[in-house]
Structure 1
Amino acid sequence: MTTTQHSPTAAASGASATEAFRTARGDGEGQVTSERIADVVQAVLAGVHEAIRAKQVSYAEFQAAKQWLIEVGEGGEWPLFLDVFVEHVVEEVTAQRQHGTKGSILGPYYLPDQRKLPSVATLPMRPDEKGTPLALSGQVRDLEGNPIPGAELDIWHADDDGYYSGFAPHLPEGNLRGVVVADGDGRFEVTTVKPAPYQIPTDGPTGKLIEAAGWHPWRPAHLHLIVRASGHRQITTQLYFEGGEWLEDDVAQATKPELVLNPRPDGEGKLRAEYDFVLEPHDS
């Protein structure tokens, strides 16, 4: 039985995730034609209509669904709900046109503009940070196997209790977050602590849905990364841990075999893992 603590409240996490999304998105991003909007929205509505007919949804159930949708909006939980239950399919569709390292979902806990760090670095953390020390090293290369000097690895993850800085008031700003800049050979080594599995917030409407459906709210332990370099398509991905809890039953359905690390102890109390990233050019 896991001893990982609950995540912060859904209301607090939802508000932070919504604000982070608005900040990172930028003005004018994602512009599409009216024809494309009509095409996609009509397909979504057709799917909803078909589910109502197939499952013979009653008026009472419809009203309950309407109330739940209102509560999700009022609680600021749309980033949480969409990132957990929908984003993995968008990522799967996008990946069909891409090459290089496998991607995964961004999730709701990304915060831009973190501290730049050298190629060999330790993520910012508290002096008494709990958890097993972990060193991740590797190289960033292009599709031809050439190193990419100065590639950036934007990395963030939960702490040993399953909390993310910026979404839990007791954590210092920027804790276990940073942007590691690879050296002239595209190499990097970042020291941090191994994160814990965590529950997505369950005290709001998303949690009510999970409970009502009899699902579990757990995500396996993972590192988040955005790997980017000039002239190349950036990769958003997550790295997991072999044998970890919930690895085969992730509530967000975001795990992939290619993204599982196999850390080994180095005899000095630290786990070490290696992972290389491959970026494709923008025009591929």
Structure 2
Amino acid sequence: MTEVASPTAAGSGASATKTFQERAKAGAATDRARVNAIASDALAALRDVIRKHGVTYDEYNAFKAWMIRVGADGEWPLFLDVFLEHEVEDVASASREGTAGSIEGPYYVEGAPEFGSAGPLPMRADEPGVRLKFFGQVRSVGGQPIAGAEVDFWQADDAGLYSQFAPGIPEWNLRGRFSTDAEGKYAIDTLHPAPYQIPTDGATGALISAAGWHAWRPAHLHVKVSAPGHQLITTQLYFNGGEHVKDDIASAVKDALILDPTPADGGGEQVRYDFVLDPA
């Protein structure tokens, strides 16, 4: 088994912040009325919390110190993606008929290696874990197969660590982009990921500890599926009976996204999952 050092909150946070900033360089268009409405309501909600709980100056100053630490640790992507993104995703996908979405999380990296419609993900020669054959078809909501759809796939390893966010793991380990064949089919050889704790030695972990929460996410596969003329779907897929499926710290699990693998010929597991894309 390959020995890999555990990521620190600061190291993982810095990587997540850098990745997010590079993707967000262009910035988003802002509507002054929308900014006013959203910011005003958010601040009003916080003021209501202060009044409801009778927040003291000591608690207020502890909150300020904690917010400063979140920034110093580079953990805003982690904190926001764990505790708020699932609500944004629910709003964004409320009108979709196709595959249910889920959060992207802080560990996505653009530009993964491209493969054909089938094959193994990049992995170390001694990569530990139970092998998993993940396959299926991409269709439109009308049921037509979509050829040439991109299936952008990434996941944690058997230790719950992500390449490019934990030290000592090859750059594109367990990351890859696949293109569906003429029948809209894809097949990915990978491994069953592990549940993992989000980094707890930084500001986010301090809040979790102070509140008496747990910091675990269930084992999951990340997928972005896209095709011309269709809406991009970003989702996560979980495993039936897996630890923390029912109490995910990120509140991102949906029943429609739970997989039920079966034994595969030659060992390991296999599971089919079909993606259905809404029109653009």
TM class by shorter chain equals over 0.9
Q: 2:215 aligns with which of 214, 217, 228?
A: 217
Per-residue deviation, 1:270:
1.7
Q: 2:193 aligns with which of 177, 192, 195?
A: 195
- 1:82-161 equivalences under 5 Å are 82-161=80-159
Per-residue deviation, 1:267:
4.0
Q: 1:32 aligns with which of 30, 33, 36?
A: 30
Q: Give the 3-state SS of the residue equivalent to 1:117 in structure 2.
A: coil
Contact 1:110 1:156 in 2 (8 A): yes
1:236 counterpart letter in structure 2: T
Contact 1:123 1:175 in 2 (8 A): yes
Q: Does 1:278 align with 2:279?
A: no
Distance 1:7 1:260 in 2: 28
Per-residue deviation, 1:25:
2.5
Distance 2:278 2:87 in 1: 21
Aligned to 2:171: 173
Distance 2:24 2:229 in 1: 21
Deviations 1:146-189 (A, max 9, x none): 00001011000000001000001110000000001111111001
Alpha carbons of structure 1 residues 144 and 26: separation in structure 2 relative to 1, 3 Å = farther
1:15 counterpart letter in structure 2: A
Distance 1:46 1:198 in 2: 35
Mind listing any 5+ residue stretches in structure 2 that lack a counterpart? none
Deviations 1:242-264 (A, max 9, x none): 00000000000000000000000
Distance 1:221 1:7 in 2: 17
Aligned to 1:53: 51
2:279 counterpart letter in structure 1: P
Distance 2:224 2:201 in 1: 29
Per-residue deviation, 1:99:
2.4
Q: Give the 3-state SS of the residue equivalent to 1:191 in structure 2.
A: strand
Contact 1:122 1:192 in 2 (8 A): yes
Aligned to 2:19: 20
**Cα RMSD for the two superposed structures:** 1.1
Per-residue deviation, 1:195:
0.3
Contact 2:135 2:272 in 1 (8 A): yes
Mind listing any 5+ residue stretches in structure 1 that lack a counterpart? none
Per-residue deviation, 1:7:
5.2
Contact 1:105 1:238 in 2 (8 A): yes
Q: Give the 3-state SS of the residue equivalent to 2:236 in structure 1.
A: strand
Per-residue deviation, 1:26:
3.9
Contact 1:132 1:270 in 2 (8 A): yes
Distance 2:50 2:117 in 1: 54
Distance 2:107 2:6 in 1: 12
- 1:198-277 equivalences under 5 Å are 198-277=196-275
Alpha carbons of structure 1 residues 195 and 6: separation in structure 2 relative to 1, 3 Å = farther
| Corresponding pairs, count | 277
Aligned to 2:7: 8
Per-residue deviation, 1:23:
1.7
Contact 1:15 1:75 in 2 (8 A): yes
Contact 1:7 1:199 in 2 (8 A): no
Per-residue deviation, 1:6:
9.3
Taking structure 2 as the reference length, the TM-score comes to: 0.97
Distance 1:82 1:115 in 2: 28
Deviations 1:108-136 (A, max 9, x none): 00000000011111000000000000001
- 1:72-91 equivalences under 5 Å are 72-91=70-89
Deviations 1:173-232 (A, max 9, x none): 000000011111110010101000000000001000000000000000000000011111
1:161 counterpart letter in structure 2: A
Contact 2:119 2:187 in 1 (8 A): yes
Per-residue deviation, 1:40:
0.1
Q: Give the 3-state SS of the residue equivalent to 1:53 in structure 2.
A: helix
1:13 counterpart letter in structure 2: S
Distance 2:5 2:89 in 1: 27
